[in-house]
Structure 1
């Protein structure tokens, strides 16, 4: 196998996106982007990463990883977006990549109706709100391919909030990029990390109490009222607080 490109090839490639696959199954296990001879550097990597261990396992079988260039002649930003799209298409859980691609939560794989709601969604008007709502922005944890359970877990805690106010809430709206993506009916609020079994937060680092809820997805009639609506105007620009309360009329 070759382990470097000629200067002529490097000049023509510019930025590119590449994939490593198993030579026997042809199943991709790593997607990356780069320029120059970046594509070959993984062969000489001696780290303990899953990607490197897979490459070593292939060599131990007296085979070579199948290395392919998916797209080239790109600028860096385009290469980043192509890389992210390929990772989304294959699925991060099917790869040894440790994270999803560039801006994939914003520009990555998304169902068409959700995309239409994001860019042309109807605003939630004050006059339409008949319930006490808690809006929670989950921008930091959201992925377009989250399962319903992952979305629920990412929404329900742990949050710095007033327990008195939280217990007056009828519904919790999960918000990403200013759009309501799900609605939950909280059944009970608990002190943070009471009901989570797999959460890495360290309570000793908290400067004030945090809380989480357990509940269920709201009834279809309620979901229809709120899901897909824009609530961006309820969050002031630059405000880092992910929680907003909107009290019903």
Structure 2
């Protein structure tokens, strides 16, 4: 099935979902603009993604995923906000989306997280003397995650972690960072090849990725702090997804 040209023009920017007809469960949320992107997912045959796997399972049962429109006639900015809000409401862990979506800085938060974000004193990263690794998890973080899921998200699966870092034990503290705020602190006890330790996540990535094991440090002095740069702006995510303090 495809939208007609007139339907696409009438929809404008829209937010849609994919539904499993077996249990009427929404398993994917997306945003599109005057096109058939909502139906393009159904062509993803053989891809190693959770979404493609779910679609394959549905078809193996003799059914076909259902596409429904949640909101339409939106401007792009509003569409991104609606998409992110719905993902937050359902919970990323209950969907096959890989990231929370756009607009997550103002996304679903607990009261404690709001207090940490707006009430905690900013801390300049240059004043931190303890050797830490900062893991930026804002794209996949959700306040609906369990503690186990949050721990696994922070410690896995990181590319190009040097042998020096893994073997020296010099960096013993891991900070889980969301929008500049330290949402969790863990000790780093040891490093292992990705996918080799018990986890709530499945590893299907490429070699040369690593994960650590450790313990939660909920009373750590950096827990809940808002880390800022020299311009008093929240620290930005690095391309690799993690960085070192002090800088290596």
Q: TM-score, normalised by structure 1?
A: 0.65
Distance 2:212 2:42 in 1: 48
Distance 1:81 1:236 in 2: 23
Counterparts of 1:55 and 1:227 in 2: how far apart (Å)? Answer: 42
Alignment match, 2:88: 88
Shift of 1:16: 0.7
Aligned-partner Cα distance in 2 for 1:34–1:194:
34
Equivalent pair of 2:92/2:100 in contact (CA under 8 Å): no
Q: Larger Cα Rg: Structure 1 or Structure 2?
A: 1
What are the Cα deviations for residues 20-47 of structure 1, in whole angstroms up to 9, with x where unaligned?
A: 3345643223322223352663497372
**1:72 match:** 72
Output the CA distance in 2 between the equivalents of 1:14 and 1:140: 32
What are the superposed Cα offsets for residues 78-102 of structure 1, whole Å, 9 maximum, x if unpaired?
223322322232234433x342342
Match for residue 170 of structure 2 among 166, 171, 178: 166
* Aligned-pair CA distance for 1:70: 1.1
1:75-224 maps to which residues of 2 (within 5 A)? Answer: 75-95=75-95, 97-103=96-102, 106-124=105-123, 133-139=130-136, 143-145=140-142, 146-156=145-155, 159-160=161-162, 166=170, 171-186=173-188, 188-190=189-191, 192-193=192-193, 196-197=196-197, 200=205, 202-203=207-208, 214-218=213-217, 222-223=219-220
Which structure features the higher share of helix residues? 1
Post-superposition offset of 1:242: 0.6
Question: Is 2:225 the counterpart of 1:243?
Answer: no
In structure 1, runs of 5+ residues without a counterpart are none
Alpha-carbon contact 2:29-2:87 (below 8 Å) kept: yes
Q: CA deviation at 1:176?
A: 3.3
The match for 1:53 is 56
> Is residue 14–residue 36 contact of structure 1 (8 Å, CA) maintained in 2?
yes
2 CA distance for matches of 1:189 and 1:214? 6
Does 79-88 or 47-56 show the bigger shift? 47-56
CA–CA separation in structure 2 for the residues paired with 1:92 and 1:233:
29
Tell me how many residue pairs correspond in the alignment.
224
Unaligned 5+ segments in structure 2 are 47-51
TM-score (norm 2): 0.65
User: Which residue is 2:226 aligned to?
Assistant: 230
Distance 1:213 1:139, change over 3 A: closer
Q: 1:134·1:172 contact (CA, 8 Å) conserved in 2?
A: no
Task: Give, in whole Å, the separation in 1 of the partners of 2:235 and 2:42.
Answer: 49
Aligned in 2, Cα 1:232/1:150: closer, same or farther, shift over 3 Å?
A: farther
> Cα RMSD between the aligned structures?
4.2
Question: For residue 41 of structure 1, what is the aligned residue in structure 2?
Answer: 39
Note the C-alpha offset of 1:243.
0.9
Residue of structure 1 in register with 2:49 after alignment: none
